[in-house]
Amino acid sequence: MKHRIVITGVGLTAPNGNNINEFRNALLEGKSGITHTEIRHMGIRAAGLCDFDEAKYQSKKTRKRGTRVGAISIYCANEAIVDAKLDWENIDKDRVGVYLGITEHGNVETENEIHDLYQNDLNTEFWSHHHNPRTVANNPAGEVTLNLNITGPHYTIGAACAAGNLGVIQAAQMLQLEEVDIALAGGVSESPQTFGIFAAFAAQGALGEHEDPTLATRPLDVDRNGIVISEGGAIYTLERLEDAKARGAEIIAEIVGFHSNSDASDFVLPNTQRQIQCMNRAIEKAGLEVSDIDIVSLHATGTKMGDIQECEAVSQVFGYSDNTYVNCAKGFIGHAMGAAGALELAGNLPSFKDGFIHPCKKIENIDPKCNLKNLVNGEKVQKEVNYILNNSFGMLGINSSLIVKKYIH
């Protein structure tokens, strides 16, 4: 029999909150975490930076040896364990897996090393002996295992900006296969620490700018001009339902459906038909009707064509459903890349308890091509919520849709 998989803990850091309660309140109250900051070679730019205590769960010596994204991962993983009320000392660490979605990794350390080289006449003796373990792709998940003495499997899932969803999906599959008993899964990002990603999006004409940093990214607005690059992380404790019930865990949500597919059509531009297929297949797998979905969380990056293509897809799937409401979070936190999907899911999970749908950041001039039915714009909406569909899409045409359900005892 196929195991049912549930979420029993959430640990996160976002530009506007360092736990799920702070993050949720910021979204309900319309609080942005986007500020102006100095970016090497790029000057002052809007960015979403996190302000969490890096030393809460690791020593300064260990942090110095590791990476910023490793610190984010360690913080979020520990918070997820605390939130799940796991008896960590007595957990069999061989049966714990770590599955973290990432967009990119290694850029920050490589850029810093090259910068130091040029400050020292290209003397390679200044190249750090920590460079290799800092830049291997599994670094964020590996740092978590070192910190928590986890001896089960760990790896990252490189899936562009769909990675946050896919980290959770991978963990659910491993639990269903009984490869692990507990999974720490989600998505993480340190992207604003590298100038290269700012330069690349600027070269594409897709880097959001505004004299007011909180307006630098305006998803679905006719005047939007690109994304704001952010960091952050959201990691979930996942378990099989029977295991969670046996230990008396509080169950936050149940994972009931998911799907991932590929566009195979363009390096950057999304494909509406493949997004439609992705959402429909996730709904079918969950055994639901379209009208059962209460919230659709948009990927909505704030790029011209990206928003239009996704809104067309959502409109075709949900356009006739009076029950389905639509929101997005990037107007408040920017685009946290590999962490985006995981953070956006976390922002909506409390709807199961508090009965509110958080709004999009106020859209002053809605693009007519993005004016979706039941779009939650600027003010929260009170509604009973039973099902949430979380969209995350990425470059090279990778799509993911994840559906979670309110758990009723």
Residue (of 390, 329, 328) closest to 164 by Cα position: 390
The ranges assigned to domains in the chain are 5-246, 259-405
pLDDT at 400: 98
Number of other CB atoms surrounding residue 404 within 10 Å: 27
Quick one: tokens of 404? 């979670």
**Where does 5-246 sit in CATH, by number?**
3.40.47.10
**Where does 259-405 sit in CATH, by number?**
3.40.47.10
Q: What is the largest CA-CA distance in the chain?
A: 65
pLDDT at 126: 87
State pLDDT tens for residues 59-95. 999 999 999 999 999 999 999 999 999 999 999 999 9
pLDDT at 312: 98
Mean pLDDT of 126-137: 94
Quick one: tokens of 265? 């059509």
pLDDT at 61: 95
Residue 185, phi then psi, degrees to nearest 5: -145, 150
Asked if the model's pLDDT at residue 291 lies above 60, the reply is yes
pLDDT at 2: 85
Q: Does 5-246 match 259-405 in CATH topology?
A: yes
Long-range Cβ pairs for the range 303-307 (8 Å, 24+): 303/206, 303/224, 303/226, 303/227, 304/224, 305/269, 305/270, 306/269, 306/270, 306/393, 307/219, 307/220, 307/224, 307/367, 307/370
* Cβ 100 vs Cβ 167: under 8 Å: yes
- Interhelix angle 272-285/304-318, rounded to 10 degrees, is 40
State pLDDT tens for residues 305-339. 999 999 999 999 999 999 999 999 999 999 999 99
